[in-house]
Chains A and B, each alone.
Chain A
Amino acid sequence: MKVAVMSCIHGNYEALNAVLSDIDNQNADKIYCLGDLVGYGPHPNAVVEMIRALDIPTCQGCWDEDIVEGLNSCECSYPSVLAEKRGKLAHDWTNQVIHPEVREFLAQLPLSLRDENLCFVHGSPHNQHEYLLPEVDAFVAMERVLATGADILFCGHTHVPYVRSLDAGQLQIRVKSTGTTERDVSFSAPLKRIVNAGSVGEPRHGRPNATYVIYDTDADQITLREVEYDYQKTCAAIIDNGLPPIFAWRLARGLEFAERADDPTHVCER
């Protein structure tokens, strides 16, 4: 069976269409989405309607939560005051154009999804805002997967896809406690994997193409997919709809529009 996982569409309807076509060509049996359907991009309502129409199981992203709650993303995910101002513009614009039923839909999205030994979250199992970057310490990464009880943890939020395998994890512990004798404790874990599904609508890997992943359960194989699409259409729509034109320039270069994680495991206290 083939499971397609996508994330971080951010109102980019053109990209979503291209990815859905590619998923179709790959003969995927199931599709999961890791949230951030809206934010930054010019067609948030169309994206959500498409997801709903196809009944794609989706978990709530940090932008989805922000739009529901009327909050702004915490300043800790912005690398500069310039980025923070751009993020706020994007938030205000999205907040204005979102239809009420779309907002309601985003509000009822679950924080995580589960399918047998697979778990799906937006940021990390603990928090929608935590970035599980590739350079996170291997044991911290291991804790994140183990916390879900799953064998493979699918996450998004960073907008750069990867597959990380954590094998043969083991720890040796000695415990001393008042009133009991010293004891040794051993911990071990079988193969665990973290898979980041990248971003459909706001890629940050230096190219404008959409990214997502496919997990083939029979072959136990995970593939990163990169899909070209007519990003110039999205660029034109960004400008036509009054979003900051710099977003169009940055999309064409596969650069983040505003947010970027500086500190891998910083979690915002908001």
Chain B
Amino acid sequence: MQPLNITLVAGSIGAGKTTWIQQQVHTTAETAIYLSLDAGETAVDSTYLAAEVPGLTVLSAVQLANFLEHPTDGCVVYLELGFHIDLNSIILPDPMADCRRVAVLPPGTRHTEWHGWADVVVTGAEASITLRQPHLWRSALSGQVLDSASLNTFWYELTNGAYGTIQRAKGIFDVADGRSLYFDFVAGLPETTDMELNLPRWLNGRPDRFSGTEIVGEALDQTAIAQTLKDCCLDEQAIAYYQQQIKDLIEQQGEEVA
């Protein structure tokens, strides 16, 4: 049996771990699997990759265990390790012991813990700010539908420091017109990436898919962040109203096309 082709990917905040993995998957013709270790209740990277990279399968930890018992030949596995995971404390199951370790780091970094751990160091994006004690705050918002304009206001306030110094902020949000939006902010880069995920519009009540946000920063005003996000959410009546409007619009346009 062929040894499993498994790569562990670690690195500092915003260096571009997920981006590197996305690039690798695009260049390889083989079937690819992705897992984010200790994503907890939020799965922003997983959801993003699942929607945007055709041919990539996203697994949970349990599913990965099953896979390892009966692996498919010629399959490549990428395991992303969040910045907050202690590299030394990872215990890998036996089938994974012989894996490749990649660290994605900003240019010019040397002599870090990652250098000792990795087999390969990949140069990623520049880091503009480095926090001494970065704090991770995350919240699942699955089932919530947000008002787009409110979301934009909140995101602007968040990324401009109204709720603390932000190094990194990612989110997947379901908005009133049924789309799922991906927001990605890295301190130092002027523009937040904001794009619609390649997912169908959800126009029937509360969405049954992942949405949520992960924020890394210092002096985070967690209460204010949570409350503001809550204020951006629409109630059932509003959700139904907007969804009906979009359905009517689609029907109209459909008729004209026909």
Contacts and interface: CB of A to CB of B under 8 A. Distances in A.
Interface of A: 79-83, 85-86, 245-246, 249
A82 B224 contact: no
Interface stretch (B66-74, B105-113, B147-155, B197-205): B147-155
Contacts of A80: 147, 149-150, 152-153, 232
A159 B121 CA distance: 53
B162 A82 contact: no
22 contacts: A79-B149, A79-B153, A80-B149, A80-B150, A80-B152, A80-B232, A81-B149, A81-B150, A81-B232, A81-B234, A81-B238, A82-B147, A82-B149, A82-B154, A82-B228, A83-B149, A86-B231, A245-B224, A246-B157, A246-B162, A246-B224, A249-B162
Nearest to A89: B231
A247 to B, nearest CB: 11
Contacts of A81: 147, 149-150, 231-232, 234, 238
Shortest 5 CB-CB distances between A and B: which pairs? A80-B149, A82-B150, A80-B150, A81-B147, A249-B162
A83 B157 contact: no
Interface in B83-115: none
A257 to B, nearest CB: 11
Contacts of B238: 81
Contacts of B234: 81
Contact of B232 (A79, A82, A246, A249): A82
A130 B154 CA distance: 27
- Select the residue from A82, A245, A246 with max chain B CB neighbours within 10 A: A82
A83 B232 CA distance: 9
Q: Is the interface of A mostly helix, strand, loop or mixed?
A: helix
A83 B162 contact: no
Contacts of A83: 149-150, 153
A82 B232 CA distance: 6
Contacts of A79: 149, 153
Contacts of B150: 80-83
A249 B163 CA distance: 10
Nearest to A79: B149
B6 to A, nearest CB: 44
A261 to B, nearest CB: 14
Contacts of A86: 231
Contacts of B147: 80-82
Nearest to B232: A82
A85 B157 contact: no
A81 B228 CA distance: 11
B228 to A, nearest CB: 7
Given A82-B154, A83-B153, A246-B224, 8 more contacts: A79-B149, A80-B149, A80-B152, A81-B149, A82-B228, A82-B232, A85-B231, A249-B157
Residue among A81, A85, A86 with max Cβ neighbours from chain B (10 Å)? A81
Interface in B129-156: 147, 149-150, 152-154
A245 B221 CA distance: 11
Nearest to B150: A82
A82 B151 CA distance: 8
A249 B153 CA distance: 13
A251 to B, nearest CB: 12
